[in-house]
Structure 1
C-alpha cells in the first residue's frame, strides 16, 4: 500500500532528477531560443525496465534516480525513480541509441551504455547493482566547524568522537571539555554555575541519575559518547525541571546490517575499564548488547578546623583524616528494534546499572575548649554506597509524512540504594572501645507514560503538543546500631531511626509552535503546565504536610541567521526544581560526629527565570561562540550549616527553602583550525553570584545572611593528527573560587596529555594518557562562617594518573537505508544528589 510519505519522497526524487537535467543542459550547447526539450525529443512505443539493487545487501534501492540520455547529443531526455523494491521502467522511448545514469545518496553512480532501441521492442536490463560510496576520512579536508560544534535554536551540540585522553575514562572526564559545563573533582556537573541541571542519556532519564548525577556519569564510558547536547533554554516539550538547563548525552549507534563486536579497555594506576558492545541487524529487526565495567582507586588526605561559639566560650575541633577509595561501576544493556512498516517503528530496551563505592577512612578528632585540649577520639570508618538500577522502556512511533508524527513512550525504572557506614571507636592506645553502625536502605521507582504529536503547517511552521504522567515513589528505611568492643549490635536508643515514604505524581501537558521566516528568523515558543501532588509520611512519626502545586512554565527561543555562518540567539524560559532523594532523606549521618548531615522531607520546589543571548560565527577557520545570561531563583533550595546545641563543637548540614539566588555571566568559546590536522579550542567562563538566606545567631534567632562574588574558569585543548595513524592531544582545565551562601570554596585545575596510534586497518587503536602527571594531585580548601561557627577545610586528592587504552572492532557490516528513530521518555525533573554545592 502506498503511503503519503512515498509520494513525498517520489516528488523530491523527481525534483532531483529535473535539477540534474537542468545542470546537464547548462553544460550542453545552447539550444535555439524557444525550443523545448519535449518538442525536440521524439516519442515511441518501446520500454526500458530493470531492478536497482544494493550490491552488498542484495535488496532493492528504494527511490533510486534513473536518467535516460541520448548518445547522439548527450542530452537527458527522460527519467524516473525506482519503487519500493528498486523496480523502474521508462516508457514511450523512440528507436535510437541511449545510456542510463543511475544514482542514489550513499551509492556510487552507475552508467549503462550501448542501449539500442529497435521499433516496437522493449529492453529488460535485469538486476543492476549499485556499490556503496564510503569515503576514507583521511581524504577529507576539514574546512568548517560543524564537525565540532552545531548550533540549534535551543541548544549547542558538542561532537565528542575524536577525543583521545578521555579514552578509558567516563562521561565526567569528557564533560569537562564541553563549553559552558564545569565538572568538579567528585564528578558533580554544573552549567553556568548552577548544579540544578538534568542529565539525560539518549533522551532518556534514569532513577539513578535522579539519585546521584556524579555517580551515574561514572557508569558511562567516554569511548561510547558520540555527542553532548547542552540545552540552556529547554522548550515546552521538556519537563519544567532543571533550573540550570539540560545535558543530553548521545551514545554511539549505527543502523548497519550485519554483526559487529567492539572491545574497549584501559589500564591505569587509578582506574581500569573493560567494555564489550555488540550489534546484530538483519532485515527489519536489530539487537544491541553492551556491557561496561570500570574500577577505580584513589586516596586523599584532609584537614578540617572548625570553631563554634556558645556565649563567652569557644570550642575548636581539629580533624585530620586519610582515606582510600575503591569503586566499581558497571552498565549493561539490551536493545531491540523492529520496523513495523515504512512509517512505523517499535523499540524496547533493558538497562542495568550498578554502583559499588567503598571508602576506608582513619579519622582523628581533637577537641579544645577555650584553647585547652579537652579530648581526643580516633575512628575507623568503613562507608558503603551501593546501588542497582533497572530501566525498561517500550517506544512506538508512527510517521505520516515528513515532520508529521505521533509517538507513545513508556518507562519503568527502579533503583535500590544502600548508604551504610560502620565505625570503630578507638581509645588512645588504638584498641576498639565501641562500635556504631548505620543502615540506610532506599528505593526509588518511577512509571512514566508519555505521548507526543507534531505536524507541519505549510512549509515553514511546526506545531507540537503532548501529555505526560509520572508516578514516583521514594522509600527510605534507616536504623542505628551500637555495640561494645565485642558482642552483637543492638538498636541504638539514643540515635535516630525511622522511615520516609514519599509519593509524587506529576501530570503535564504542553504546546509548542515553531516558525521559520523568509528573512531567516526562527521562532520557537510554547508553554507547559505541570500539576504535582505529594503525599509523605515518616512512618510512626506521622505525616509530613506538603501542599500540592501547579506551575505554568512558558518558554521562547529566537534565532536569526545574519549570514551563512553567523547566528544570533535570544531566549527566555521559566523552570522549576523539585528536590531529589538526597535532599529529602531525613537519615542523620553520624559517621563524623562533628560534621553531621541530614535531608529535609518538607522541601518545596524552587522557581527560576532564565534569560540568554548568544552569538556564533565562523571566521575563516575559526569558530566563535559568545553567550551572556541572567538567572534568578526564588525559594532556593540551599545547603545550610548550623551549630548543634546538644553536641559541643558539632555542625549539622541540611537543606532549606530559605532564600534567593541571582546570577549573571558570560561564556566565550573558540575553535581554531591551525591546519587541516591541527586544532586548538578553548573557552572562558565568567560568573557573578549573589545568594541570600537565613542563618541562626548565637542567641538562637534567625538572622539574614548574604554572599556574592565572581567565579572564573576556562579550558584549553589541542589535537594534532600525525602521520601513520598517530595522534596527540593536550588538555587543561581550571575552575576558580566558588561562592556559597556561608563562605567560599577554592578552585582547582586538571590537565592531561594523550597519544593514540590507529591500526593500519582502522579497526582499532592503542593509546597512552597521563593526567596531573607533574604534581601529586590537586589541593583545594573551603572557608565557611556564620555567627555560630567558623570552619576551614583543606583536602589533598592524589589523582595523578597514567593509563594505557586499547580498542578493537571485529565483524562485517553493510550500509542500509536509515531506519526510523523511536521517541522515548524524558524525565528531567528532580535534583541530582551528590555533594554538589551552589
Structure 2
C-alpha cells in the first residue's frame, strides 16, 4: 500500500511544480453602504475582461463585506457589484503586471432610492436560493459548469451527496425521486448516474432540492425530490457525444448522445444512452444456513459463481411548439430496452450437528429478464395575458412496460438428494394512464395559490406458468397447480390545494391533498382468490423558512406521506421457482402512513456552504419483510404491516473553496432506527460519511479524490454489511474545452470487495456472501460541438407519478 501512496505522490509532483510557477493576481476590497458606511454582506462581484467583455470571475463577498478575487492575467477589467436593495455599480480596474495585489479599499454602493447611470453589464444570480419548501442551485450562474457534465455539477449542490457508486443521498437517504422539468423520467429514475454523465451541465438551468415534498406532489414516498430544470435551449444546434469504458472482472461500457436543436417555433432534444457488460460480469456467491431445530440437517453450505450479462438502450426525445407567446405544447417520448441474464452454478452440502455430510447436490440456474418500456406525454400550457403568473396546464401521460421473465433450474443429486428440473415463465404487462390539470393563481405580489387534480388508471396483467421435468418420459410437463394468472387494476383520484406567502424574511407554504384509491385483483388461475380494497386519504403539509441573513436560512417542515403496496407485495401466489427461497405477497396488508418533522439550517456563500438538519419520522403500520422457515432447506419471504417505526436522522454537509484551485466537500449522516412488531424489536445506529476533494492543477487539468463509507442500521430480520468506495479521477480539457478526457481508478486499495446479507429469526440463520473484484480503472471521452442562440420554452407544470412502494417487480 505504501508503494501505491508513493506512486500517486510522485505522479503529482510535476503538476504541483508547474502550478507553483503560475501566480494569480488579486483584487480585494470591502463593500459598504454609501450613506452610513456600514458593510454590505454577500454582495455579488463579477469581473469582466475588456475589451472582449468575457466573464473571468464571479464570487460573493463575505459576511463582513470583504472580498478577495483571484485573477488569472493582467489587463483591464470591468467590476460590477450587485446586492439586494442596492443599485448595481460598475468600476474599471487596471491590473498591471508585477502588481499582484490590487486593493480597492472601501467600495461604496447606493440604495435603490438613488439613481445611477445605466450600465451595460447585467447582474448575475446568486448560486443558491432558499425558498419555503425547496433549495435552488443556479447552474447557469456557475461559471465552471460550462465544461462539466450533470453528475459533476450536482456534487456542488448543498445537502446532496453523490456516492462513488453514483447514487444520490439527501439527508442520509437514497430514497430520492428524480424529475426532469417537473416530470418523472424513466432514464433519470433508473439510471441517474448515466443520465447525468450524458447531459452537459451547460444545458441545465437549475437543480431544485425538495427535502419534504408537499401537497402538490403525490402522497406516496418518504424521500426527497430532485427536480433538474433544463435551460431554454437556444436556436441553432448543439451536440455532445460521450463514451466510457471501465475494466474490472469484465469490461463495462457506456455511450451517450445528446442533441438539441431549434428553429422558428419548434424545438427538440434527443438523448440516447447505451451501456453493457461485455462479455459478462463474474463474481462469487456463497450461502451458509444454520437450522436451530433440525440436528440432521443442521448446516447448509453452498459455494458458487454468478455470470451476469447485461445490456441497456434508452432513447428519448422532447419536442416543443410555441403556438404564440402565451400558449405552448410539449411532447415527450421515452423508451427503454433492458436485457439481463444471470447464470448461477453452485455445489451445495447439508451436514448434521456433528458436521457429517448427509446430502449434497449441484445447483444450476439461468434467469432471463427482458423489459421494453414505452413512455409518452403531452402537455399544454396557457399563460394569462393580463398576469403572467397565472398559469394553466393540461397534461396526459401513458406508461407501458411489458416484461418477459424466464428461469431454468437444474438440481442434480450428488448424495441422497432428489434431482429436479424446472422452467418458469412469466409474461407481464404494466399500463398506466394519467390525466392532470394544474392552475397557479397569484393573490398578491408575494402570495399565490396552486391547485390541481389528477386521475391515474393502472392495470397489471400477469401470466406465470411452471413446467416440471418428468424423468420417466424425459420431457417437461406443465404444473397447472402452480400457474399464476391475474389482472390487477388500480384507480386513484386526487386533488390538491397549496397557499404560499412571503412576508419580509419569512416564507411559508400550507397544503392539503385528498386521494381516493380503489384496487381490485382477479385471479384466473386455480387455488388463489382475488381481493378488493378502497382507501380515502387526507394528506396535510406545511413548511416555513426564515432568512436570518442574506446567506443564512432556518427551516421547519411537517409532512404526512403514504406508501401503497404494489402488486408484488399483495399477490398471494407462492413463487417456488427457487427451491430454497420461496416468495409470496400478502393481500391483507395496508398502505403505510408516515409523519415527518424536519428542522434545518443552511449557510450559503460564494466560498462555500454548510447545512445541517434534524429529522424525525414515525409510522405505526410500516410494511416490512417477514421471513419464515418452511422446512430445513427452505425459507419463505412475505410482507406485513409491522406495529411501529421510529427513525431519527441527523445529517450535515460542508463545502469549502480553498483559494481558486481547491474544492473540499464533506458530508455525514447518523440515523437511529427503532423498529418493533409483535414478536421482534430492532434498535440500532446507521451512519455514512463521504468526502470529495478537487484540485485544479493548471487551467484545463483537474485531479479529484473521493471516498464513501456506509453502514446501514439493522432491520427486524436482516442486516447488510458495510459499503465502501474510493475514486481517483484526472480530467483534461482540449480543443477550447470541446474535448474532455478523464482517467478513472477506483478502489485502488482492495483487490477484492466482500459484501454480505444476513437474514434470521428464532428458527434459523442465513448469510449470503459475495466477492467481487475490488479495483476498477477506465477512461471517459466527451466531445461537444454546435452553436446556439435563442430559446425554447418548456411547460412548467407536468405529470409526476410516484405513489407506489416498489413499483412493479
| Normalised-by-shorter TM-score class | 0.7 to 0.9
SS of the aligned residue for 1:451 comes to: strand
- Which of 479, 490, 494 is residue 492 of structure 1 equivalent to? 479
Give matches, 1:815-834, under 5 Å: 816-817=790-791, 819-832=793-806
In the other structure, the counterpart of 1:240 is 219
Instruction: Say if 1:181 and 1:619 are closer, same or farther in 2 by CA, change over 3 A.
Output: closer
SS of the aligned residue for 2:414 comes to: coil
Maintained 8 Å contact 1:196/1:577: no
In the other structure, the counterpart of 1:786 is 761
- Which of 330, 333, 337 is residue 316 of structure 2 equivalent to? 333
Instruction: Say if 1:820 and 1:218 are closer, same or farther in 2 by CA, change over 3 A.
Output: closer
Maintained 8 Å contact 2:567/2:808: no
Maintained 8 Å contact 2:656/2:664: yes
Instruction: Say if 1:651 and 1:511 are closer, same or farther in 2 by CA, change over 3 A.
Output: same
SS of the aligned residue for 1:578 comes to: strand
In the other structure, the counterpart of 2:74 is none
Aligned: 1:392 with 2:376: yes
- Which of 745, 753, 761 is residue 770 of structure 1 equivalent to? 745
- TM-superposed CA distance for 1:157, in Å, is 4.9
Cα deviation digits, residues 582-607 of structure 1 (max 9, x gap) = 43455645454222333334432100
Aligned: 1:503 with 2:481: no
Give matches, 1:649-688, under 5 Å: 649-688=633-672
Maintained 8 Å contact 1:748/1:778: no
- Which of 531, 540, 559 is residue 525 of structure 2 equivalent to? 540
Residues in 1 aligned to 2:382 and 2:139: alpha-carbon distance in whole angstroms: 31
Residues in 1 aligned to 2:571 and 2:365: alpha-carbon distance in whole angstroms: 21
- TM-superposed CA distance for 1:422, in Å, is 1.4
Residues in 2 aligned to 1:445 and 1:534: alpha-carbon distance in whole angstroms: 15
In the other structure, the counterpart of 2:454 is 468
Residues in 2 aligned to 1:324 and 1:817: alpha-carbon distance in whole angstroms: 48
Instruction: Say if 1:493 and 1:540 are closer, same or farther in 2 by CA, change over 3 A.
Output: closer
Question: What's the TM-score once normalised by structure 1's chain length?
Answer: 0.74
Aligned: 1:635 with 2:621: yes
In the other structure, the counterpart of 1:717 is 692
Instruction: Say if 1:663 and 1:377 are closer, same or farther in 2 by CA, change over 3 A.
Output: same
Residues in 1 aligned to 2:609 and 2:148: alpha-carbon distance in whole angstroms: 29
In the other structure, the counterpart of 2:538 is 552
SS of the aligned residue for 1:738 comes to: coil
Residues in 2 aligned to 1:797 and 1:251: alpha-carbon distance in whole angstroms: 37
Cα deviation digits, residues 381-412 of structure 1 (max 9, x gap) = 11112211101100011111232111111101
In the other structure, the counterpart of 1:99 is none
Aligned: 1:749 with 2:724: yes
In the other structure, the counterpart of 2:510 is 525
Residues matched between the structures, number: 675
Aligned: 1:478 with 2:464: yes
Cα deviation digits, residues 167-190 of structure 1 (max 9, x gap) = 9999899889984668797x8877
Aligned: 1:450 with 2:436: yes
Aligned: 1:438 with 2:424: yes
- Which of 257, 262, 272 is residue 281 of structure 1 equivalent to? 262
Residues in 2 aligned to 1:465 and 1:155: alpha-carbon distance in whole angstroms: 18
SS of the aligned residue for 2:198 comes to: helix
SS of the aligned residue for 1:280 comes to: strand
Give matches, 1:62-77, under 5 Å: none
Give matches, 1:345-360, under 5 Å: 345-360=328-343
Give matches, 1:567-582, under 5 Å: 567-582=553-568
Maintained 8 Å contact 1:353/1:388: yes
Residues in 1 aligned to 2:759 and 2:547: alpha-carbon distance in whole angstroms: 47
- TM-superposed CA distance for 1:818, in Å, is 6.0
Question: What's the TM-score once normalised by structure 2's chain length?
Answer: 0.77
In the other structure, the counterpart of 2:94 is none
- TM-superposed CA distance for 1:289, in Å, is 2.1
State which drifts further: 682-691 or 351-360. Answer: 351-360
Give matches, 1:704-743, under 5 Å: 704-743=679-718
Cα deviation digits, residues 452-496 of structure 1 (max 9, x gap) = 1111111111111111100011122111112257954321366x2
Rg comparison, structure with higher value: 1
Residues in 2 aligned to 1:281 and 1:207: alpha-carbon distance in whole angstroms: 24
Residues in 1 aligned to 2:573 and 2:774: alpha-carbon distance in whole angstroms: 31
Maintained 8 Å contact 2:340/2:370: yes
In the other structure, the counterpart of 2:788 is 813
State which drifts further: 233-242 or 804-813. Answer: 804-813
Instruction: Say if 1:172 and 1:446 are closer, same or farther in 2 by CA, change over 3 A.
Output: farther
State which drifts further: 293-302 or 215-224. Answer: 215-224
Give matches, 1:119-198, under 5 Å: 147=127, 150-157=129-136, 179=159, 192=171, 197-198=176-177
State which drifts further: 153-162 or 621-630. Answer: 153-162
Residues in 2 aligned to 1:231 and 1:217: alpha-carbon distance in whole angstroms: 17
In the other structure, the counterpart of 2:110 is none
Residues in 2 aligned to 1:173 and 1:375: alpha-carbon distance in whole angstroms: 56
- TM-superposed CA distance for 1:523, in Å, is 0.6
Residues in 2 aligned to 1:176 and 1:605: alpha-carbon distance in whole angstroms: 36
Residues in 1 aligned to 2:568 and 2:408: alpha-carbon distance in whole angstroms: 20
Aligned: 1:264 with 2:242: yes
State which drifts further: 538-547 or 352-361. Answer: 538-547
Instruction: Say if 1:609 and 1:757 are closer, same or farther in 2 by CA, change over 3 A.
Output: same
Maintained 8 Å contact 1:321/1:363: yes
In the other structure, the counterpart of 1:365 is 348
Instruction: Say if 1:712 and 1:170 are closer, same or farther in 2 by CA, change over 3 A.
Output: same
Gaps of 5+ in 1: 1-25, 27-104, 106-132, 695-703
Instruction: Say if 1:195 and 1:480 are closer, same or farther in 2 by CA, change over 3 A.
Output: farther
- TM-superposed CA distance for 1:193, in Å, is 6.1
In the other structure, the counterpart of 2:59 is none
Cα deviation digits, residues 31-63 of structure 1 (max 9, x gap) = xxxxxxxxxxxxxxxxxxxxxxxxxxxxxxxxx
Instruction: Say if 1:206 and 1:807 are closer, same or farther in 2 by CA, change over 3 A.
Output: closer
SS of the aligned residue for 1:739 comes to: coil
SS of the aligned residue for 1:540 comes to: coil
Maintained 8 Å contact 1:456/1:463: yes
- TM-superposed CA distance for 1:154, in Å, is 2.0
- TM-superposed CA distance for 1:237, in Å, is 0.5
Maintained 8 Å contact 2:137/2:157: no
Maintained 8 Å contact 2:331/2:379: yes
Residues in 2 aligned to 1:175 and 1:597: alpha-carbon distance in whole angstroms: 39
- Which of 779, 794, 798 is residue 804 of structure 1 equivalent to? 779
SS of the aligned residue for 1:220 comes to: helix
Instruction: Say if 1:499 and 1:171 are closer, same or farther in 2 by CA, change over 3 A.
Output: farther
Instruction: Say if 1:323 and 1:370 are closer, same or farther in 2 by CA, change over 3 A.
Output: same
Residues in 2 aligned to 1:310 and 1:179: alpha-carbon distance in whole angstroms: 49
- TM-superposed CA distance for 1:667, in Å, is 0.5
In the other structure, the counterpart of 2:56 is none
Instruction: Say if 1:177 and 1:804 are closer, same or farther in 2 by CA, change over 3 A.
Output: farther
Maintained 8 Å contact 1:546/1:602: no
Aligned: 1:615 with 2:593: no
Maintained 8 Å contact 1:347/1:396: yes
State which drifts further: 617-626 or 655-664. Answer: 617-626
Cα deviation digits, residues 688-723 of structure 1 (max 9, x gap) = 0011124xxxxxxxxx11101001101101112232
Gaps of 5+ in 2: 1-33, 35-87, 89-119
Cα deviation digits, residues 317-372 of structure 1 (max 9, x gap) = 21222112221122101221011111111110111012112212112221123343
